[in-house]
Structure 1
Amino acid sequence: MVQDIVDERDLALVNALQVTPRASWAQLGQALDLDPMTVARRWGRLCGTGLAWVTCVAGPALHGDFCMAYIEIECGPGQLEAVAATLSAEHPVRYIHHITGAYGLLVVIALRTPAAVSAYLRHTIDRLPGVRSSRMEMRTVGYSEASRWRLRSLERSQQHVLESLGTLPAAVGGARVDATDQELYRLLHEDGRMPFTVLADRAGISEPTARRRVKRLLASRLLRLRCEVAQSISGSPVTAVCWASVPPQHLESAARSLTALQDVRLCCGLTGRRNLLLMVWLRTLGDLPRLEALIAERSPHVTIVDRATCLHTVKQMGRLLNAEGRSIGNVPPNVEVLAES
């Protein structure tokens, strides 16, 4: 079993890197009371087996500069696997979930404009062999994103120490970007802990320049590092998707309240009648009705109108995943999201 090859210290290390993804081995070792070499060895094993990884995504400063669309796709008999495999190689596709229900795939894409989303839907998805039908909604507001989700393996004192390490000074001046910044984004997406010496060599710049640019991109919130973990070892191996309807005047307060629930990994507003989407990680499928009851108690204006269970996450922010949630491949990001408007 995959759970047999990790222990509590491994999970604490993943949790620590969720808090501060580029902390040094010495800093991590001090916080976790481990020898730095032991920390490096444990992380190397977790990465090497695809159980955890650090990646890079577009940061909050860019979220208003591109459009995210949530597309449910119905496939013909025996065609779902082929459709998922084709879409998993597409750069604009960030997530692919095989879900229960009439629409077997939930696909999330990110493009610069609504017109680009329209073209992608008409010219790529609708023309894909095996696609029978689709429906799509656009994200309106992101209330909580997956990068904020955490394991709960650290002591509070350890977390405070690590949080102080991860603090970046506010960026000064304009946040202009160029081709070198885009290349750094691509490299950090491949490995968010890539050493500055390697980043500099692969980007064709000096190490001080690499350090300065990466710190600026992170401080400007143009990029965000995040540590991911295979769901099979997270303690919450079940993913559920809930679509809710909320009166517009209560949407903001309800969504903010729900993001505080520890099982909620993603919460965002959508266009359409189902105007709130929740993605949750649960210990068991039996926890879903209990979570819905808690939502109803906590936010009486929220009505869950549809739900699905995720059978397999095929792609997650550019990472290709196997049935255990292990990383088995990487699709480079669409660096156009980092282009100047």
Structure 2
Amino acid sequence: MQDSPLLDDLDRRVVHALQLSPRASWAQVGAVLGVDPVTAARRWERLRADGVAWITAYPAPTSTRGPMALVEIDSAGRSLDIADRLADDRECATIDITSGGRDLMLSVTARDLAGLTDYLLHRLGALEHVRSIRTHLSTRVITEGSGWRLPALTESEQARLQVASGPVDRAATAVLSAAERAVLSGLVADGRASTAELAASTGMNPRRVRDLVRDLLRSGRLVLRTELQAEASGWPIYAWFFLRVPAAAATTISPRLGSLPEIRTVLQIAGPSNLIMAVWLRELTDVSRLEAAVERQLKEVEIVDRCVVLRCTKRVGVVLDETGRRVRTVPML
């Protein structure tokens, strides 16, 4: 097993810059960071080649992505076997091996509810060694991991990069055309793939590709997600919390949860636990600390259950090795 590299200050600044503007030119990144563009590009390429950081792409939750569910599996002690068998499933976006009252937590998507039901009943239901499956259908995505930031840039530096990335115009149609899906496919493995590379892989001319990428980003229909190895981030502890909140208060409490810096994902769920959130923390003791802080600040929230992720083998389509480094990307539906 390789030791996880310690990111130095410039590494962290490059990652944060690309979280804010994943396709910013190296000239833009270098100008904001105060370094030569070649230096910034070299730092990123080393992180990417080592599997420590990466950029992938997928349709936004409000776009053509269909229903999503969190699935708890009791695997009878065969968690790794099941995780390996599901790794290449396009429907299975994230696979967490966990402690607590379940062995596996899966994030599952499909084009429509019928497809999701079919996957749950026939693919997961037919797996050997699975003793029980509990499904939580998501009714609303409050916060997702693409919005999590590695705090390394000043507010003014962040503002300069956000201006460079341009405004979002959500008036465009949500449906992705065949040409847009072809471009999306090219961005899945590398969200910084050049216009020339995308043109070569799609068979379209470079100007057409450039326009499609710009329109997808400006419409908010495409998510470009800059990720990194959890251990290298400084927040290596990954946990899920299951919450129960009065229905009338859910719409006001959910955004308040999503604003906490440790929280990566908040989902409203149709079930006994009507909110589920994922967090990254610095130390294992922070699990209890965060739980106490939530209960103290949000009196309406009842924490029903929690679990710590022992290993994440797939994160939003990206298959990870035992150290949390990127191995390959499986396109999501």
Instruction: Name the TM tier (shorter chain).
Output: over 0.9
Provide Cα deviations, 1:123-171, integer angstroms capped at 9, x if missing partner. Answer: 1001011212111010011111101100001112211111111113636
Distance 2:136 2:67 in 1: 11
Q: Within 5 A, what are the aligned runs for 1:218-257?
A: 218-257=217-256
Provide Cα deviations, 1:26-77, integer angstroms capped at 9, x if missing partner. Answer: 11011111111111111110000001011112114316x5100110011123
Q: Secondary structure at the match of 1:131?
A: coil
Q: 1:158 and 1:314, CA in 2 relative to 1: closer, same or farther beyond 3 A?
A: same
Distance 2:323 2:152 in 1: 21
Q: Is the 8 A contact 1:171 1:216 kept in 2?
A: no
Distance 1:244 1:228 in 2: 26
Distance 2:221 2:305 in 1: 34
Which residue is 1:67 aligned to?
67
Q: Is the 8 A contact 2:168 2:220 kept in 1?
A: no
* Structure 1 residue 173, shift from structure 2 partner: 5.5
14-23 or 316-325: bigger deviation: 316-325
2:48 matches 1:47: yes
Q: Within 5 A, what are the aligned runs for 1:75-86?
A: 75-77=75-77, 79-86=78-85
Which residue is 2:151 aligned to?
152
Q: Is the 8 A contact 1:80 1:130 kept in 2?
A: no
Q: Within 5 A, what are the aligned runs for 1:30-179?
A: 30-62=31-63, 66-77=66-77, 79-168=78-167, 170=169, 174=173, 177-179=176-178
Q: Is the 8 A contact 2:168 2:219 kept in 1?
A: no
Q: 1:286 and 1:222, CA in 2 relative to 1: closer, same or farther beyond 3 A?
A: same
Q: Is the 8 A contact 1:186 1:333 kept in 2?
A: no
2:270 matches 1:271: yes
Provide Cα deviations, 1:69-96, integer angstroms capped at 9, x if missing partner. Answer: 110011123x221111111110011100
Distance 2:25 2:145 in 1: 24
Q: 1:177 and 1:117, CA in 2 relative to 1: closer, same or farther beyond 3 A?
A: closer
Q: Is the 8 A contact 2:101 2:307 kept in 1?
A: no
Which residue is 2:11 aligned to?
10
Distance 2:283 2:200 in 1: 46
Q: Is the 8 A contact 1:2 1:232 kept in 2?
A: no
Q: Is the 8 A contact 1:20 1:163 kept in 2?
A: yes
Give the letter aligned to residue 271 of structure 1. Answer: A
Would you say how many aligned residue pairs link Structure 1 and Structure 2?
A: 332
Distance 2:5 2:86 in 1: 33
Q: Alignment RMSD, CA only?
A: 1.5
Q: 1:120 and 1:160, CA in 2 relative to 1: closer, same or farther beyond 3 A?
A: same
Q: Secondary structure at the match of 1:241?
A: strand
Provide Cα deviations, 1:283-317, integer angstroms capped at 9, x if missing partner. Answer: 00101111111101221100000000000111011
Please give the TM-score of this superposition, normalised by the length of structure 2.
Answer: 0.96
Which residue is 1:316 aligned to?
315
* Structure 1 residue 115, shift from structure 2 partner: 2.2
2:194 matches 1:195: yes
Q: Secondary structure at the match of 1:61?
A: coil
Please give the TM-score of this superposition, normalised by the length of structure 1.
Answer: 0.94
2:31 matches 1:20: no
